[in-house]
Amino acid sequence: MEASLQEVPLPGTALAEELDQRLLIVLRDGRKVLGVLRSFDQFANLVVEGSVERIIVGEQYGDIPLGLQIIRGENVVLLGRVDEGKDTPEGLTLVSPAVIKEAQRGEKELNKLKSTIRARMDFLDLE
Amino acid sequence: MLFFSLFKTLVGKEVTVELKNDLCISGALHSVDQYLNIKLTNTRVHNEQKYPHMMSVRNCFIRGSVVRYVHLPPGAVDVEVLHDATRRESRGG
């Protein structure tokens, strides 16, 4: 089970390759942040500059500007490299922050309603 | 260190990482570190429509703490060698 150490980057260099790149950061609560990675540490705590939170509801998406952020590593799920050109997702229409927040609220209400209905059905234990 | 070494032998292989948030990502294992953080290249997401934000992501870094499973190609690991290494590790540690 020998592997040459030159092939595999040392711990701590994995994110070094992503410095100054525009990244998509997916967080544990499902939020997506896009921004330029400026700093990181061994816990994957991140400093992101020029960041936006991208909210996607159905066919619409909106970017809420956040600016300079520090993200605690324990909340990070993954970091994805986004090509500069392919920044905007295909097949989705950009809307203003107000519109997308309203859409998000609507979706949350719908999900809450669905889960209460589901909870009532489960209670009945029809199976 | 055992699993770190195991993953090092799998660098370059095609794997599927299943995350605790149920996201499944396939790609070539680019690198791994001591925390079992995983870097994949040439990634593609299973069930793409559910995760539109991932559509243009081809390379990603996955924090080790969010991994549920790493699905390996059959025959990628010599189980006998792994078995022996495990016994040696448990004896030493």
Q: Is B11 left (phi over 0), alpha (psi -120 to 50) or beta?
A: beta
A5 falls within a domain: no
- Going by pLDDT thresholds of 50, 70 and 90, the confidence category of residue B93 is low
Structural domain of residue A101, as residue ranges? 14-124
pTM: 0.85
How far away is chain B from the Cα of A101, in angstroms, using its nearest Cα? Answer: 17
- Contact assignment for A81 to B63 by CB distance below 8 Å: no
Nearest CA-CA distance, residue B43 and chain A, Å: 10
Per-residue confidence (pLDDT) for residue B85, from 0 to 100: 92
Residue A62 lies in a domain: yes
User: What does the pLDDT read at residue A4?
Assistant: 44
User: Rounded mean pLDDT of A46-57?
Assistant: 94
Q: Does residue A7 sit within a domain?
A: no
- What does the block give as tokens for A119? 């909870």
Residue of A nearest to B10 (CA): A3
The CA distance from B38 to the nearest CA of chain A, in Å, is 9
Q: What is the pLDDT of residue A2?
A: 42
Q: CB-based contact (8 Å) between B77 and chain A? A: no
Residue A82 belongs to domain with CATH number: 2.30.30.100
- A85 shares contact with chain B (CB less than 8 Å): no
Listed residue (B30, B28, B13) closest to B75, CA to CA: B13
Looking at residues A45-73, what average pLDDT do you find? Answer: 93
Total count of domains within chain A: 1
Residue A10, pLDDT score: 55
Please write the tens of the pLDDT for every residue from B28-70.
Answer: 999 999 999 999 999 999 887 788 888 889 999 999 999 999 9
pLDDT over 60 at A8, yes or no: no
Is the CB of B26 inside 8 Å of chain A's CB atoms? no
Using pLDDT thresholds of 50, 70 and 90, give the confidence band for residue A84.
low
CATH number of this structure's domain B2-92, picked from the four choices 2.30.30.100, 3.90.330.10, 3.40.640.10, 3.30.565.10: 2.30.30.100
